[in-house]
Chain A
């Protein structure tokens, strides 16, 4: 452990921590826009600047390693002026259409504008003209809202290992796009959407649906595979309208395309909610109770086993089940039914 002073508070921090990490351990708030502790520090938004005794100019706390005996000031009129100017500059090149933006209420930029009470920017001028792009099934890009924090580029590269997007152009016209400005053609995991601090990236299926504010949140586990990612279902009027994942769970908030965007089945009319039984040959499948269905299965299986032996029965388990569930399933097949004919869909 090292000890340093932040805002006149003595603080202990683990070796290798950045100044920002040390401050956050001590519950000292430093605003950030381009920082995500799950990724490498970037130092682009310049909001987390702090003064460090002995250094001639402010430095970004997210990139500066904390050292023993360091004396840090996170707020003073000069730092606040620089931060406010930075936010003002961002707002001067932003549509500021929070009234109709899906991100309102959950937007880092909006919160910063509120924090610094910026009604009007002193720096009116050109704004980037970008059309909304959504020529793909999942992701909506509104680049005029992009603050170039680089989180989407970094998550795609560092976490997903895909590198589907990067920077192009220079100066004011810098933007983030797929190679050669082609259409987005990736695996659509939506990690970029999950880290975007503004409304620049959102999901197509969220459009027109209620915003996050005031939604009912249900913590649950994704059922798509055995990984068991923790997810949060956001529902409104008894309908799931969005899925997210908290960064403090075992999957660190990362999801795949299915977990993040494949939630429409929950409220689908086609979804099975009761067992169905075909009661006569050539007849229709009709709703039944679980008792009736299970009794039928037991009766049929017993009959087959009696007539043809246990090996006439085989079981196929699902990759969507957990290890424990698959263990129980083979136990059922081997001990309950008495056959080793048990397999798993992921094998073929």
Chain B
């Protein structure tokens, strides 16, 4: 047992949710129990708290590195640790049936990692780990060898665009801000990620918080800001903790504070916790929130770059945008501009979720076709069902149908089919998803999260939601599709902020590509995907029912009758289509049609 042993346990949020804390404890205990008794051996075994590995569907992921030979295990649970130590660490024989398969490597090999490059490799709670992979060299290079104007030109030439949703050219935004006469400027890192199904920024802050801080230092230097804020959701406690540790370490080493890198530049970062309002991801609402006001958007112009926090010129960049800055400074604008498509440079981190085999966090070069993302990296649809659509851009994005499967994923590509990049959420839908129901789901979200300030968003999204609800309940009327379209367009065109402007996207894009589903709901009173219970008839297949009585107990309106061990019946005049019988039946005897 003189070999060098390193065990890496995935401690991202996905890993922790899958039980990584317990796996780690198990490793500690089992090492002690299994002959790793003396201190010499214990010292050689290191337990890294590494950040997100991106492949959350396979958590808990564990790397075992024996003398530089790395084996990656998937779906590890505490009770499996004993055998791993016995067989692999002590016996030098990897447990082959628990190793990740080829698809794991396909998942990673098809990605291009800039922002996620060091995630999973370094301990986010150690500044030395970050320094070990070239951390803070970009800040040093910018502050000691470049003028602020040169930094801005580099970022401009790189073609980097805002990763938070708008896609505004970052360098241009910086130059607009720097052009203002002001005694104080601010940099804000927008880490108020709130889209359902999105965890890009969370993973980056959890896995590599120093990269974000370094991006902020360079930004601050470029525009002449001495104070930075990270506006981060309080619902991300691990990210907040790691950010706090990182800021404290950066201060201690002199990367934050006074006279950075021996020059005249001062910069420090404060954390502001968001209270869970989706709209606070909108930059003017975010500013209002930092100022202590209710998070309600303000009209633009004036833009924050000219008049932002406390009325001073302010740059707000999202986590991923900032994390791109250090590599751009280090490797140059040309390197970055060589990745991606014509108008969208670099990579995009995407949270791949939904009905897909390999859910997780991925990073792709801009312009990669949807097909490659879903079928190569994502491994195709779960359960070999048919792909129906992919919802991009979060709750305000659109649904892209099968016919655009070769669409390049970049700002222009997604916009051309009525969706958007947004912050990078991608929810894959299959044939069992009802598009009207999907639109309803997203409208429910945006309506709940509307700040209530402007009329079209506050009342308009409510009315859109009501019309969608009645369609899914079989109460849709002739003309409802047209009414939805008209109202959606009006809400889009007259709302105050990005939330209201984009909230109708799910409605408009599903009507555009899946109008037949709306028509089936309204005209035939049928839900083709068999999702909308109110449009379905429930019955029990007599040949399948064993008479267990589960459905009878579950039925809240006593619509089900039957003797024990005899096939049961549903009285459709009493049935309220709640679907409980379908959910509880273990014999697939309850059919909905």
Contacts and interface: CB of A to CB of B under 8 A. Distances in A.
A81 to B, nearest CB: 7
Contacts of B302: 65
A152 interface: no
A92 interface: yes
A167 interface: yes
A93 interface: yes
A81 B490 contact: yes
B458 A46 contact: no
A60 interface: yes
Contacts of A172: 447, 450, 452, 458-459, 462
B296 interface: yes
B299 A86 contact: no
B495 interface: yes
Given A60-B299, A82-B494, A166-B294, A174 B452 contact: yes
B149 interface: no
Contact of B450 (A60, A78, A171, A175): A171
A189 B352 CA distance: 56
B301 A148 contact: no
Given A60-B299, A125-B462, A170 B448 contact: yes
A93 B459 contact: yes
Contact of B463 (A49, A81, A123): A123
B453 A44 contact: yes
B572 to A, nearest CB: 29
Given A85-B490, A166-B294, A46 B454 contact: yes
Interface in B450-466: 450-456, 458-463, 466
Contacts of B449: 170-171
Contacts of A45: 454-455
Contacts of A60: 299, 496
A91 to B, nearest CB: 10
B455 A90 contact: yes
A198 interface: no
B563 interface: no
A32 to B, nearest CB: 12
A57 B498 CA distance: 12
A82 B493 contact: yes
A212 B302 CA distance: 40
B294 A167 contact: yes
A123 B490 CA distance: 13
A64 interface: yes
B483 interface: yes
B453 A150 contact: yes
A59 B495 CA distance: 9
Interface in A181-219: none
Scoring A46, A63, A147, A167 by chain B CB atoms within 10 A of each residue's CB, the highest score goes to A46
A170 B277 CA distance: 9
Nearest to A175: B452
A173 B452 CA distance: 8
B298 interface: yes
Contacts of A81: 490
B487 interface: yes
B451 A170 contact: yes
Given A43-B298, A171-B450, A85 B466 contact: no
Contacts of B494: 46, 49, 58, 82, 85-86
24 contacts: A43-B298, A44-B453, A44-B454, A64-B299, A64-B301, A78-B493, A82-B490, A85-B456, A85-B487, A85-B490, A85-B494, A86-B455, A86-B490, A90-B459, A147-B455, A167-B452, A170-B448, A170-B449, A171-B448, A171-B462, A172-B447, A172-B459, A174-B451, A174-B458
Interface of A: 41, 43-46, 49, 57-60, 63-65, 78, 81-82, 85-86, 89-90, 92-93, 122-123, 125-126, 147-148, 150, 166-167, 169-175
Interface of B: 277, 279, 294, 296, 298-299, 301-302, 447-456, 458-463, 466, 483, 486-487, 490, 493-496, 501
